[in-house]
Structure 1
Amino acid sequence: MLERLPSLGGCAATSRLAPGFHCPTLSHRAAIDPSVARSLELARHGLDMVSPAALVSSAMPDGRMLTLWADAGRAAREIAAFSAHDAERYPRFLTSFSRVSAVLQAVMAANPLSIDQISAPDLVMLVGAARKLRRLDRADARRLLRWMPMPVADLVSEWFESESLRTLVAAEGLLGAFLGPRSPGSSLQLLLLGAREGHPISTGRMPRGGMAALVTALTRAAREAGAEIRVDAEVREIRVQDGRATGVVLATGEEVTARVVLSSADPRRTFGLVDPAHLAPDFIRRVRGIRMRGTLAKVNYAVSSLPRFAGLDRADEGDQRARLSGGVRLCSGMTALERAFDRAKYGELPTDPWIELMVPSITDPDLAPEGQHVVSAYVQFAPFTLRKTSWDHERDQLGDVTTRTIATYAPQFPSTVVAREVVTPLDLERTYGLTGGQIFHGELALDQIFLARPFLGWARYSAPIRHLFLCGSGVHPGTGLDGRSGALAARAVVKSGLC
């Protein structure tokens, strides 16, 4: 395994912000698929997942806070303070979402169909998905078909009347997407990401020891299986002879030969490492046509005390820690979400971004010195390309805007900051290899999922070059750091008989 950076982790890396402070550099959620974790025996290699009491909270400008607890009944009682109607609807929404997710789970767990020749395994998958679809009642079957192309603002408005709850749920489907809540198709990402656990809100489960613990467990499992792992090993070229991948050439000029080459880089970056003479012009055109417009930035903080949100002034420390144990979303409403996206559409620096922050040191105190914390903040919408300036010039401005936005809800936050790290969309591409800053290696859209991921005709992990396979999020199911794309790609390699 070849890693370009000096250390392992990639999007699951950990930053040392200051002595004793360790924060997830990029992803602060670990949605590793349980079946993948079991097959790799990650628990035996030290992985211990911690589940917070709260899924997510929403801090509001008026000082109130809405918390969706992991316990659905407790969450409904919380919602009742905002809307009795929504408190009654929330459990029904979760039930309907879970039923719909069962169909999507069946599709996401299987190899995409071949549009040229449907095999026996394809038929088995189709029959299984069809059975799950038939088990849905008529209302849920219609919802599945309606929800996928819908604006997420319309979906949540059909269920809830409270603006705070609508915004809290809708935001789940917008993270990293070049879509606003009123954009057609913005419900799709909510469905795909939620289908992993059958719940519209990600659980926010974290490895004990931070994301570094996940990387350590994966590294141990790989080495036990015989893998050789090298860092500071940037791949400059995928070597091709007679239409077959034979290995790679490193930036140092060293050639590494291999029977099979698997790339977890995005499709555009992967095929950019291949001499164009080995690819058909139409294939190159289609690779370049994959939409990869990133909108996410990241700001990480070391802080001297737990953030004190205005809505929790009267809460005891135990209640504060419980409510902040999941994600905290900072956005005043659906209109603010749409306006934040409007600025991204026109290449403008965010001035009032919506933020999802986590305090991973609540569930894992070892990430910070005693009594102190680390805060991990997703910042949306931050366009990859700025119209009148560049991210190299606006890095500090982005950090300042993020700090000011958090201070709107937690006034004392700026005075507690010990250290700060700003990761711009350009950094996501330049340092971590995410083309366009797109965290899913390609936008999750109806024309870029399942048998169209990365595009029609090449959705089954292989490439026009024999012995070259893709195993990153740019191929089905494409839902990020859950291990599913890699697991399905590994099965495809084994099935090919090449190893």
Structure 2
Amino acid sequence: MCDISNLIYVCVSTCIMLIVVSVCVYSQAAYLQKGGLKTAVLERRHVLGGAAVSEEIIPGFHFSRCSYLLSLLRPHIFRDLELKKHGLKLYMRDPYAFTPMLEGGVGGHPPRSLLLGSDLAMNQREIGKFSETDAKAYPEFITHLDKLASAIHPLLDSPPVDIAGLTGGALRRRIAALRSALPLVQCGLKLGKNIPDFYEIITAPIMKILNRWFESEPLKATLATDAVIGAMTSPNSPGSGYVLLHHVMGELEKEKGAWGYVEGGMGGVSKAIASSARSHGADIFTEQDVHQVLVGSDGSAKGVVLKDGTEIYSRVVLSNATPYVTFKTLTPQSALSPAFIKAVDQIDYTSPVTKINVAVDKLPNFLAAPTPDGKPGPHHQCSIHLNCESVEVLQTAYEDCKEGRPSFRPMIEMTIPSVLDPTLAPPGSHVVLLFTQFTPYSLVGGRAWTDQDREAFADSVFSWIEQYAPGFKSSIVGKDILTPPDLERIFGLTGGNIFHGAMSLDQLYLARPLPSLSDYRSPIKGLYLCGSGSHPGGGVMGSPGWNAALAAMADLKRG
């Protein structure tokens, strides 16, 4: 038995793309340590970062095994923790999106493609290949979307409004609750006359919005990918508009909406934040698998017990596991009410994601943008959207999955970070990261995935890539296939969901993950949620940890 800290972080799982819970944990540890509280972080795996990790799965090739791009990390966390000082190096991408067509060339020319970046004039030329009307409308659309996304920022760095405090309690709590409403007021003021547009985009299918602005399928489908990425939803599903907004509200190096690569892979983010936390005195331990939260006779958290039986005492415990793992696995069920347990069981963790990491001995050569010399073109640094030339293709892929089948023609987002970061692969070789949808957690009839199923789906993905970039299959020297059950087993992502719970309207803001849990405080006094399952949700963001730190510090101050 030992008493090593004021606060313990239980690091059981994290989330991809977005969303990395250990980032929240390490940043939170740094803030609380700076505030004078001795902290300890207990990481289940051998490598720091949860799902924001770099792993050498194939000798010589270093993969961002789950999370693979950075954008949503809050700027104040980036600055406060001095992440560049602690080794974080970024590679900005420009252009950033490439959508090749699967069609025959005309007049001896390559197939068409759509390339988007920061150069607005170039974007309009690219879009004009499909629609001059869309090319003219695009700048206004981007400005409009930026206004809506920017308005959300005050909500990201604060807990949801304290409704209970506003509607009851002592005068002091009511005054504090009024302050909690300030970010919501700031959001409303920023939106101004755009409030109806904001309401529409967070509730509507994204196609209702895109069809109003554009007519060309490649542009609509490319934009729609951000409305379904990581989510078991289709472009025609209500609420998919918010998923798009969530993915465009970040910034990198003061560039709004930008996404970039981290040198050495996404583990570089976790290492930098952990280094910052350690510099302030925090202790971080790997291969420390937490078995259960210790709950005292007074019903409050007293620490944790590890799988090896070691008991560690602490005044506060913060869990970045999913709500399901936290309350169904780590918390003694006798300490929770049956009604609460039933509510936890209802949280939606449906996931459509299979991540495939591939080592190749040569760069993919796309028919739509040939590079016969083997040298990278501008499009190689992008998020490369395959099987995304029409919304119908995305919709059909979604419907396959709803019936329990991996998509026959899956949506594929390909990134090749080694084009910009030479530390990831041997000279001339590359790491190719494939974020694919849609794949169900269980196959038809509730059947579990087998190795044969995994190989068959991966081969289908490779065959589709082959049609866009002949020679891709023969360039493969190794692969790592992570279906939804694999993401759950390895990283603790319930259901394989990269966001620690669906980013649907019934699981956002005041209802994330449940109305009774939206302020990060659990029914167990001293036990807090600090991961992506809490507000504001998934992404390599740090906001859930920041907000949970504020709640924990406020409670400790009050005693």
How far has the Cα of 1:18 moved from its partner?
2.7
Q: Aligned-pair RMSD on alpha carbons? A: 2.1
1:231-281 C-alpha deviation (Å, 9 max, x unpaired): 221111111012111111111111111111010111111012111110111
Q: Which residue of 2 aligns with 1:184?
A: 238
Question: Secondary structure of 1:44's partner?
Answer: coil
CA distance in 2, matches of 1:290, 1:263: 17
How far has the Cα of 1:436 moved from its partner?
0.5
From 386, 399, 421, the equivalent of 1:364 is: 421
How far has the Cα of 1:212 moved from its partner?
2.4
The alpha-carbon distance between structure 1 residues 201 and 385, as it changes in their structure 2 partners (threshold 3 A), is farther
1:433-478 C-alpha deviation (Å, 9 max, x unpaired): 0000111001011111111111112211111101101100000001
Contact residue 356 and residue 379 of structure 1 kept, 8 A: yes
Does 1:87 find its partner at 2:144?
A: no
Q: Which residue of 1 aligns with 2:37?
A: none
| 1:25-44 aligned within 5 A | 25-31=65-71, 32-44=73-85
**What TM-score, normalized to structure 1?**
0.95
Contact residue 56 and residue 63 of structure 2 kept, 8 A: yes
Q: Which residue of 1 aligns with 2:280?
A: 225
Question: Secondary structure of 1:147's partner?
Answer: helix
Question: Secondary structure of 1:206's partner?
Answer: strand
Contact residue 414 and residue 434 of structure 2 kept, 8 A: yes
How far has the Cα of 1:195 moved from its partner?
2.2
Contact residue 459 and residue 476 of structure 1 kept, 8 A: yes
1:37-95 C-alpha deviation (Å, 9 max, x unpaired): 11111111011222111221112112322111123333223212221111111110111
**What TM-score, normalized to structure 2?**
0.85
Q: Which residue of 2 aligns with 1:206?
A: 261
CA distance in 1, matches of 2:407, 2:255: 26
From 156, 163, 170, the equivalent of 1:108 is: 156
How far has the Cα of 1:120 moved from its partner?
3.9
Contact residue 162 and residue 181 of structure 2 kept, 8 A: no
| 1:259-338 aligned within 5 A | 259-272=315-328, 273-313=330-370, 320-331=376-387, 332-338=389-395
Question: 1:236 is aligned with what amino acid?
Answer: H
CA distance in 2, matches of 1:127, 1:229: 35
Question: Secondary structure of 2:377's partner?
Answer: helix
Q: Which residue of 2 aligns with 1:494?
A: 553
Give the gaps of 5 or more residues in structure 2.
1-40, 104-110, 167-173
Question: 1:60 is aligned with what amino acid?
Answer: M
From 417, 437, 449, the equivalent of 2:508 is: 449
CA distance in 2, matches of 1:443, 1:396: 27
Give the gaps of 5 or more residues in structure 1.
none
The alpha-carbon distance between structure 1 residues 417 and 104, as it changes in their structure 2 partners (threshold 3 A), is same
Question: Secondary structure of 2:301's partner?
Answer: strand
Does 1:473 find its partner at 2:532?
A: yes
Contact residue 172 and residue 200 of structure 1 kept, 8 A: no
Contact residue 52 and residue 322 of structure 1 kept, 8 A: no
CA distance in 1, matches of 2:263, 2:177: 38
Question: Secondary structure of 2:312's partner?
Answer: strand
Contact residue 17 and residue 302 of structure 1 kept, 8 A: no
The alpha-carbon distance between structure 1 residues 148 and 405, as it changes in their structure 2 partners (threshold 3 A), is same
- Which deviates the most, 457-466 or 11-20? 11-20
The structure showing larger relative contact order (alpha-carbon pairs under 8 Å, at least 6 residues apart) is 2
- Which deviates the most, 383-392 or 274-283? 383-392
Contact residue 204 and residue 326 of structure 1 kept, 8 A: no
CA distance in 2, matches of 1:413, 1:434: 30
How far has the Cα of 1:100 moved from its partner?
1.2
Question: Secondary structure of 1:398's partner?
Answer: helix
How far has the Cα of 1:311 moved from its partner?
0.4
1:364-392 C-alpha deviation (Å, 9 max, x unpaired): 01111112111000010111121243223
Question: 1:311 is aligned with what amino acid?
Answer: A
Contact residue 251 and residue 259 of structure 2 kept, 8 A: no
Contact residue 54 and residue 324 of structure 1 kept, 8 A: no
Does 1:253 find its partner at 2:253?
A: no
How far has the Cα of 1:103 moved from its partner?
2.0
Contact residue 268 and residue 287 of structure 1 kept, 8 A: yes
1:264-306 C-alpha deviation (Å, 9 max, x unpaired): 1111110121111101111111111111101101011111111
Contact residue 169 and residue 200 of structure 1 kept, 8 A: no
How far has the Cα of 1:124 moved from its partner?
4.1
Q: Which residue of 1 aligns with 2:208?
A: 154
Question: 1:84 is aligned with what amino acid?
Answer: E
In the alignment of these two chains, the number of paired residues is 497
Question: 1:408 is aligned with what amino acid?
Answer: Q
Contact residue 298 and residue 377 of structure 1 kept, 8 A: yes
How far has the Cα of 1:201 moved from its partner?
9.6
Contact residue 178 and residue 295 of structure 1 kept, 8 A: yes
CA distance in 2, matches of 1:407, 1:423: 21
Contact residue 250 and residue 256 of structure 2 kept, 8 A: no
Question: 2:448 is aligned with what amino acid?
Answer: S
CA distance in 2, matches of 1:391, 1:29: 27
Does 1:435 find its partner at 2:475?
A: no
Contact residue 174 and residue 189 of structure 1 kept, 8 A: yes
Question: Secondary structure of 2:42's partner?
Answer: coil
CA distance in 1, matches of 2:163, 2:192: 29
How far has the Cα of 1:350 moved from its partner?
2.4
- Aligned residues: percent identity? 35
Question: 2:239 is aligned with what amino acid?
Answer: G
